[in-house]
Amino acid sequence: MAILTPEALRTALDGLPGWTTSGEAIVRTYQFASFPDAIAFATRLAFDAEAADHHPDLLISYRKVTVTWSTHSEGGVTEKDLAGARASDAAAR
């Protein structure tokens, strides 16, 4: 799967509010009402990621969870990562 061009990535992120680029990845931080809510989100996302066989980096800091998607084997952001971002947003609801 090919990495997205900078233009394609900008266009895609226009449709994914809250997501930004960071190096060769896309990143979003979610804030939850409690630590258990943050952990529950990370768990939901972990099951989605496992089913897709594509896994984000997760940083949990009390009520905040930072999710980073990148296709390391391709060296950048691919359609898989955009699908992961959409799955992350769905898991956060």
Task: State the Cα–Cα distance between residues 18 and 10, nearest whole angstrom.
Answer: 13
Looking at residue 71, the DSSP 8-state letter turns out to be B
Domains of the chain in sequence order: 6-92 (3.30.1360.20)
Contacting residues for 48 by C-beta, under 8 A, at least 6 apart: 87, 90, 91
Q: Per-residue pLDDT averaged across 60-83, rounded?
A: 97
Task: Give the tens place of pLDDT for each residue, 1-56.
Answer: 899 999 999 999 999 999 999 999 999 999 999 999 999 999 999 999 999 999 99
